[in-house]
Structure 1
Amino acid sequence: MNNSIMAFVLLLFLLLIRYSNAEEGAFDVRKHLSTVSRYGAVKDIADNNFVPSKLPEGCVPIHLNLVARHGTRSPTKKRIKELDNLAARLEVLVREAKERSLPLERVPSWLNGWKSPWQGKRKGGELIIKGEEELYDLGIRIRAKFPDLFDEEYHPDVYPIKASQIPRASASAVAFGMGLFSGNGSLGPGHHRAFAVTSESRASDLQLRFHDCCHNYKAYRKSQEPAVSKLKEPILDEITSALIGRHGLNFTSQDTSSLWFLCKQEASLLDITNQACSLFIPTEIELLEWTDDLEMFILKGYGKSVNYRMGVPLLEDVFQSMEQAIMAKEERHASGSFEKARLRFAHAETIVPFSCLLGLFLEGSEIKKIQKEQPLQQPPMPPQKRKWRGSTVAPFAGNNMLVLYRCPAPDRSISKHFVQVLHNEHPIPMPGCDGSDFCPFELFKEKIVAPHQKHDYRSVCNPKLELEPSGSKFSQIFQWLFSPAKGLLSVLD
């Protein structure tokens, strides 16, 4: 037995000890699906060691920023094809098992004649009904939680709603708006009202799809994807061996990867947990979940600074909206003449970097490493505990809310504006604000926003030109033409 196999066996043994003390049936796979997790299954998972701040008496919310991921969606066209290929592969495996006279009890009955639920679909990736409900219900809950912010007559300048140009994001924005403004209009039995949702072109959306416009990020991701696959290999290989041992079928690592994807889709979209998911024991599911979380860390999160620095335009937009809200209050603008909430709907590739810019889900003193631009350790493997989990960082409909409060301040030396961050509707500590969820506005600006503002989007994302000296006319013209904010891209937009 080689060292890697011995290490894996020891790891499984430790995980089994962990579950031996748990009540039978307590493990819910729907809470372990990384970013494929449905919002309702994971939204109330929180850090039990953190005690939220008690808001000072007299504090009132004056503005809200929301950055939300789209709701639960169907598999993409590429993934639908993968599931069709899996169906053909399972048919071969079952036929081979019969030819070898493998005992029937070793072959799960659902494998016989299994076909993908999405067989025959020509397109994919659209918001499904469960996803619509997630955002609709979120809109209702936010209005109930902050009634003073949503007491104005609707106007697109008071409640701007923005979505990326991808249909599942704009559909999520519509579902949210229907919940938020339900009962405030005259349309249909639900008394709905019309509202505007605006989008930027994918070619120039630096706030909600900055990853599409960032050349350096795309180059980094392409270079790292093979390495990430290599990191996953030992886990997939050992789980594949375990599956072969349990069921006698000649599974490959690719089969295991596709079956894990099927498990996530069945459990999240269809509430089916007794088919593909039942092939894996809980310890294996936790390891597979960790591989997904590791991939998210490396390709979308703290694994590389470009992952989140490209999101600085979004952070600046959030911060500027707060400054404008403070100015409107200070200058006593008339009610209905200033913005009270800015609502955005996008993707995991948006909310993950934005969470990193806020410094969320860091362990211990990691915030100091981020500020010093030092690399972070990868998320620890189970059974070790970790904060970085895709199921809580960016599930379907996952969201960050930044609520700006105005508080009584008789002493001018005391801040009268505070920022509270809610992740998936729950207060969450900000390491940059000394671990509090309720941060003085000036401290929020100094410790969280300002350190990132030194990284300009263009310098972070554009490749360095070496054809001509940086000050040459050619270089200046080239940069102007291909800048996302102006030149050729804006003409194409």
Structure 2
Amino acid sequence: MAAPLMVSLLLLTFFHAASVLATANSDFDVRRHLSTVTRYHVAKEISDNSYVPSNVPDQCKPIHLNLVARHGTRAPTKKKMKLLDALGTRLEVLLENVKEKKSGALPAWLWGWKSPWTGKHKGGELISLGESELYELGIRVREKFPQLFHEDYHPDIYPIRATQVSRASASAVAFGMGLFSDRGNLGPGHHRAFAVISESRASDIMLRFHDCCQNYKAFRKSQEPSVDKLKEPILDEITKELVKHWGLNFTRQDVSSLWFLCKQEAALLNKTDQACSLFSPSEVGLLEWTDDLEVFIVKGYGNSLNYRMGVPLLGDVMQSMEQAIKAKEEGLVPGSYEMAKLRFAHAETLLPFSCLIGLFLDGRDFDKILREEPLQLPPKPPQTRIWHGSTVAPFAGNNMLGCGDSDFCPFEVFKCGIIANDTNKQAMANTRLVFSSQYEWNSERRAIEEQLLTIVGITTLVVPVFVIVLNSFLALLAVNFCSVLRNFHVENRKRG
């Protein structure tokens, strides 16, 4: 009799090799409070400090790996570079008004400041730091799971998919270079060529569903005024304090631009002693919270539409896992079936997908999610909260699926959690309506859609890095897998 197949939550200790820059003479590190602009290695420092791995039985052997990852650290977009150029002009005006009474209290960097991106005509590309994040991640994955990557490369064994946006596809290439380094004959690094497949932006319901859904676009636009209204009191409060402290007539827009500059300097340039130094630690915490509110409302648990768009992606993840299990059960040799599926996309992909599977969620809120009810907003500092953009979707953030409090469990337990609740069947069916107005479904998508209609629930799963299907004789005994899973609480101490 074949051994039961298990799903393992192996939380990998992936460390980024970049240098660490902390704020001087303080335990407060601005780099940990940059919401979704946070660098990957910084987010990992936060989670790794609290994660205690469970013992995985020696009999467990990986047969398949699923990855859903965000692109690495990128440059500001063209729109944001214009904002920073405008900030430079604005600072000139503010400083001109105090020129005659120039004070040593004002930071020296303000005088004559110009955006580091002035003169650039394009933006949003993956930068070298982002390339390193994904390249080193690829190497760590191969080292952690050598038995999955000992086969010669073939696109049917190791399919790599990315969106058509260059920073996502470049991230896929960087990851692949690390994953398959020393496996070919190209150059001194012994690289080899590999394929990265992209779907058209107009029809990419797997990785760029937010661009395919007109209902979502309308919802997001409708939320802009209310999100701005929520931010205004905090921005006004901080603006008042900055004017008082620095003697410059800052406006709310100035503060918003300076906060954006702080995030870019800290994440991209490893600078925390310029724009970030204008804010106190408590002000940084409040500004991060306003960012997290926006992410929560328009990309997260604020509306079920946000995460229901991820149903096709979830269906693809489940299907690839089941196919690998079937191949193993039928005795197919490694290399004759798909051993890893690697996807590279955006925060707008990772955030909804994480919500769809119940990550970063208080157990008490799980029933609300099953009913597709919006959750309360993340509490304002100094209250603690689970929802932090810096850990939900940092640059190069990635997801691993697991089973409640366990690091591994039978695949049927995992699957039962995903399809657990019949009350969501109609909600899943309605996912079809979300996308169908945007383009015509071809026969392949219709087949996938019919399979997705059987996915009628979600579960509280523990946080992130990869899905690994394992073979082991150590099956967990459970009379009712679904009822057990529904009672699990999310423990976000387990971070990938």
Q: How many pairs are equivalent?
A: 422
Match of 2:405 among 429, 432, 435: 435
Q: Deviations over 1:28-72 (max 9, x none)?
A: 111111100111122232286664432233011111000000000
The answer to whether the 8 Å contact 1:316/1:449 transfers is no
Tell me which residue corresponds to 1:459: 430
TM-score (normalised: structure 2): 0.81
Tell me which residue corresponds to 1:71: 72
Letter in 2 for 1:485: W
Helix, strand or coil at the partner of 2:295: helix
Tell me which residue corresponds to 2:134: 135
1:444 matched to 2:414:
yes
Q: Deviations over 1:431-453 (max 9, x none)?
A: xx443343432122122245497
Distance 1:106 1:37, change over 3 A: same
Helix, strand or coil at the partner of 2:301: coil
Helix, strand or coil at the partner of 2:147: coil
For structure 2, which runs of at least 5 residues remain unmatched after alignment?
A: 1-22, 447-496
Helix, strand or coil at the partner of 2:328: helix
The answer to whether the 8 Å contact 1:72/1:127 transfers is yes
Tell me which residue corresponds to 2:372: 373
Helix, strand or coil at the partner of 1:97: coil
The alpha carbon displacement at 1:367 in A equals 1.7
Helix, strand or coil at the partner of 2:399: strand
Q: Deviations over 1:285-310 (max 9, x none)?
A: 00000111111100100111000000
The alpha carbon displacement at 1:108 in A equals 1.6
Tell me which residue corresponds to 1:291: 290
Q: C-alpha distance in 2, partners of 1:208/1:241?
A: 42
The answer to whether the 8 Å contact 1:357/1:448 transfers is no
> Could you say what the CA RMSD is over the residues aligned between the two structures, in angstroms?
2.3
Q: C-alpha distance in 2, partners of 1:372/1:158?
A: 38
Deviates more, 1:52-61 or 1:67-76: 52-61
Letter in 1 for 2:293: L
Helix, strand or coil at the partner of 1:62: strand
Q: C-alpha distance in 2, partners of 1:301/1:199?
A: 25
Tell me which residue corresponds to 2:160: 161
Letter in 2 for 1:483: Y
The answer to whether the 8 Å contact 2:34/2:263 transfers is yes
Tell me which residue corresponds to 1:390: 389
> What does residue range 42-53 of structure 1 map to in structure 2 within 5 Å?
42-46=43-47, 51-53=52-54
Tell me which residue corresponds to 2:441: 485
Rg larger in 1 or in 2?
A: 1
The alpha carbon displacement at 1:371 in A equals 1.5
Tell me which residue corresponds to 1:174: 173
Letter in 2 for 1:95: E
> What does residue range 49-448 of structure 1 map to in structure 2 within 5 Å?
51-99=52-100, 101=101, 103-402=102-401, 420=402, 433-448=403-418
Q: Deviations over 1:60-105 (max 9, x none)?
A: 1111000000000000000000000000000000001114x2x412
Letter in 2 for 1:88: T
The answer to whether the 8 Å contact 2:304/2:373 transfers is no
Higher relative contact order (CA 8 A, sep 6+): 2
The answer to whether the 8 Å contact 1:236/1:253 transfers is yes
Deviates more, 1:350-359 or 1:161-170: 350-359
Q: C-alpha distance in 1, partners of 2:98/2:393?
A: 40
Q: Deviations over 1:108-130 (max 9, x none)?
A: 21111100000011110000000
Q: C-alpha distance in 1, partners of 2:260/2:432?
A: 32
Distance 1:250 1:199, change over 3 A: same
Tell me which residue corresponds to 1:36: 37
Q: C-alpha distance in 2, partners of 1:210/1:140?
A: 29
The answer to whether the 8 Å contact 2:212/2:438 transfers is no
TM-score (normalised: structure 1): 0.82
The alpha carbon displacement at 1:485 in A equals 2.4
